[in-house]
Amino acid sequence: MLNLRNISRAVVVGGGTSGWFAALALRRMFAPSTEVRVIESPAIGIAGLGEGGLLNLLDALRRNGIDLTEFVQETGAAFKLGVSYEGWRTGAEDDHYYHLFGRPGLQETDWMEAGFHPLISGMVHEGIELHRYVPGFAAIAGNASQRDALAMLRLGASSGLSASFHFDSHRLGDYLRRVAVSRGVVHQQARVDELLCDEQGMARAVRLEGVEEPLALGLLIDASGFARLGIGGKLGVRWRSFSEHLLLDGVVPFRMPHPQPNPSLVTRAIAMPSGWMWQMPLVERVGGGYVFSSAHADEAQAIYEIHRRVGPGVEPMRALKFEPGHFEQVWVGNVMALGLASGFVDPLESSLLGQMLEQLRNFERIVTAGGGVVPGRVIEGFNEANARCWSGIRDFLRMHYDGPRRDTAFWRDFADLPPPPGYAELRQCFQRRTPRPIDLQNYAIHGWQGIFHALNWLFVAAPLGVVPRKAAAAELQGLPSASRARVAAYITRMRELGAAGDFSSKGDRSA
């Protein structure tokens, strides 16, 4: 049992997005008599690159009472309506597909029967690109301004789109710090030298550099980034590596000017010879990075490929090496690791931020629901659910590389890489039908919501050919004749509107 009911101090080690979101949550969770303190090392900075969120970013902002207009102004944020995948199937200039943040409320495409979306399956069967059913896609294709995008989103469900944001990670951390301090969070700049635990492994204090007396605490959130002082350091929890299933292990960040008059409304994910490049547009500039496999390129080669793709004027930053994976337990006793201190994977699909916010949401839910008293079995369930969420991220990311591209050693080696068992079985199912909610329920247990859902999987699986057109046809055949007629009428209207696109030549290997 963990009793947090009468603790006098909760400490967050590390700032940044994870640390300050945690501080805001703790300040809401505990009474004013409990001090919430963030200890941030002045020697460790934030890169200040462009970063993107998922839809749970907006939920986190609202839960913390943060005004969205102020958030946009303070962080240089720009709308993010999804991801544009460029060159992931053939490498050609016209090889694009989109994973958009669809919005519930489109009466036709929300229709579900027999566990799936018949109209969307009809589009897959007919080779119609899925982003074409979203009315708001015209704003993305037309490089609409932020003002016009806002006007379009205010139309509500008729736009077919939900929005998250691209933002400057340094400015976000700084903004969250100011909000947290204004609400009573104590900010201390110091280096944590050691976490002090009792014989039962409970954290009791931290020893700070140059300070003789240890700082006592009742709860520790480890947001120390790759330093991983708590779970990975002092407590020695075992690491679960994903490197046998995900090849990428290095990244070279950079900044660049906007290539278009307005910030793009989607993250650009550009396939590269040894990995992929992100371009996340902010209001003032674009934050980018090349995520690569060190087995196929070194830092110098990655920089050469950046310059070749973007231009010689881009100045890359220092490369970062990582091992994809996570700690098997992230909540041990009164210590919880969060953000990079918990795990790290290929930054594709903004999964790192999305998972961090879902983990923090569930931590708050459990502590609050228990009145500050948490049974050990509930903590075990939390760790199991966290690991399942990471497995879902791993499998979803692995699917992105399961396309037809084979023109470089990297893409050939990824094609030959054994898929995780969970994804391998899902892929077998997807050869016979489209992704369904039931397929993914094992990734979100014990009250977790998960961060990628059936339509997210379908937006990627269909263009890559992981769901072949004949699989969609097979499941449609099982519908009553009236439902099949409804699908046929919808497809006719889509074609009359000029929505038909042929992705079979680029991605569908079994049309």
Given 360, 393, 426, the domain boundary residue is 393
- At residue 104, the pLDDT reads 80
- 507 located within any domain: no
pLDDT digits (tens, 9 = 90+) for 79-108: 999 999 999 999 999 999 999 998 888 777
Count of domains forming the chain? 2
- At residue 496, the pLDDT reads 85
- At residue 107, the pLDDT reads 72
pLDDT digits (tens, 9 = 90+) for 56-65: 999 999 999 9
Shared-domain flag, residues 172 and 137: no
Q: Is the pLDDT of residue 291 over 90?
A: yes
Torsion region of 94: left, alpha or beta (phi above 0 gives left; psi -120 to 50 gives alpha): alpha
Shared-domain flag, residues 417 and 272: yes
CATH number at residue 201: 3.50.50.60
Shared-domain flag, residues 475 and 431: yes
pLDDT digits (tens, 9 = 90+) for 293-305: 999 999 999 999 9
- 404 located within any domain: no
- 510 located within any domain: no
Shared-domain flag, residues 290 and 422: yes
- 8 located within any domain: yes
Which residues span the domain enclosing 173?
Answer: 2-75+168-241+325-393
Shared-domain flag, residues 389 and 481: no
Q: Residue 49: pLDDT band by 50, 70, 90 thresholds?
A: low
Shared-domain flag, residues 223 and 129: no
- 192 located within any domain: yes
- At residue 43, the pLDDT reads 73
Q: What one-letter code names the amino acid at 502?
A: D
Task: Give exposure, 348-367, as e/b (b: 16+ Cβ within 10 Å).
Answer: bbbbbbbbbbbbbbbbbebb
Name beta bridge partners: 239. Answer: 327
Shared-domain flag, residues 335 and 348: yes
Shared-domain flag, residues 338 and 367: yes
DSSP conformation class of 311: -
Shared-domain flag, residues 367 and 382: yes
Q: Is the pLDDT of residue 46 over 70?
A: no
Shared-domain flag, residues 111 and 157: yes
Contacts of 454 (CB under 8 A, 6+ apart): 434, 435, 436, 437, 439, 440
Annotated binding-site residues for FAD read: 192, 340
- 508 located within any domain: no
Q: Is the pLDDT of residue 152 over 50?
A: yes
- At residue 45, the pLDDT reads 57
Shared-domain flag, residues 388 and 427: no
Annotated binding-site residues read: 80, 192, 340, 349
What DSSP assignment string belongs to 150-212? HHHHTTGGGG-B--EEEEEHHHHHHHHHHHHHHTT-EEEE--EEEEEE-TTS-EEEEEETT-S
- 400 located within any domain: no
User: Can you tell me the distance from the alpha carbon of 443 to that of 389, in angstroms, rounded to the nearest whole number?
Assistant: 5
Q: Which residues does the annotation mark as catalytic?
A: 80
- At residue 50, the pLDDT reads 65
Annotated binding-site residues for 7-chloro-L-tryptophan read: 80
- 504 located within any domain: no
Shared-domain flag, residues 234 and 252: no
Q: Residue 156: pLDDT band by 50, 70, 90 thresholds?
A: confident
- 250-276: average pLDDT: 96
